[in-house]
Amino acid sequence: MPISATGSDDGRDRGFTLIELIVVLAIIAVGATAVMLSLPGPERTLRDSSERLAAQAAALRDAAVMSSRPMAIRLVAGGYRFESFDGKGWAAETEKPFRAVGLPEGMAVVAVPSGEQRIRFDTTGLADPVVLTLGYRGLRRTVTVDAGGGVTLGG
């Protein structure tokens, strides 16, 4: 019987088996797939931004009716903000949920009729009709505000 470590070699090399390597690679692939699926793509970013704008426009319309004062969404460089009319002029809202909103880098909002930078809601909920087009990385979605104050999303 050998007494040295070299004498106990059973002829097999030590290391990872092919099965172990395949299992590790499969686990890495599943993890990478989960990370990639959780990252927002341009479609999701545009959809989320347009849905947020539409929801906030509807909430602003309701706030104009409930507070009995005209309110508006004002398009500004890089986003939009909310304003209320105090009888003398328009003042920016600073409290939640009507704080200014910044758009993601590269996203733009264009209003039709051209040049319309303030979408007003009066105290009865009626609005200046406008179609807002959000553009992001070659994709487009619209938010339409009709004269009756209705807010709809479009493709």
For residue 136, tell me if it sits in a domain.
yes
pLDDT of residue 116: 67
pLDDT of residue 38: 76
Number of domains making up the chain: 1
Q: What tokens were used for 77?
A: 């460089």
Q: What is the mean pLDDT of residues 3-11?
A: 59
**pLDDT (tens digit, 9 = 90+) per residue, 12-43?**
667 888 898 899 999 999 988 888 777 778 89
For residue 143, tell me if it sits in a domain.
yes
Give dist(CA 97, CA 66) in Å, integer: 15
Task: Please give the full DSSP string across 43-79, using - where no structure is assigned.
Answer: HHHHHHHHHHHHHHHHHHHHHHHHHTS-EEEEEETTE
Q: Which single residue is written with the structure tokens 């209705």?
A: 150
Residue 107: band (very low, low, confident or very high) from pLDDT cuts 50, 70, 90: very high
For residue 119, tell me if it sits in a domain.
yes
Q: What is the mean pLDDT of residues 69-83?
A: 93
pTM higher than 0.85 for the full model? no
| CATH number of the domain bearing residue 133 | 3.55.40.10
For residue 34, tell me if it sits in a domain.
no
For residue 117, tell me if it sits in a domain.
yes
Q: How many CB atoms lie within 10 A of CB 72?
A: 22
Q: Could you tell me where the DSSP H helices lie in the chain?
A: 18-38, 42-67
3-state secondary structure of 81: strand
For residue 87, tell me if it sits in a domain.
yes
Identity of residue 104: P
For residue 61, tell me if it sits in a domain.
yes
Q: Give the rounded percent of residues in the chain with a pLDDT score beyond 90.
A: 63
Domain that holds residue 118: 42-154
Residue 103: band (very low, low, confident or very high) from pLDDT cuts 50, 70, 90: very high
Task: Estimate to the nearest angstrom the gap between the alpha carbon of 145 and the chain centroid.
Answer: 20
For residue 118, tell me if it sits in a domain.
yes
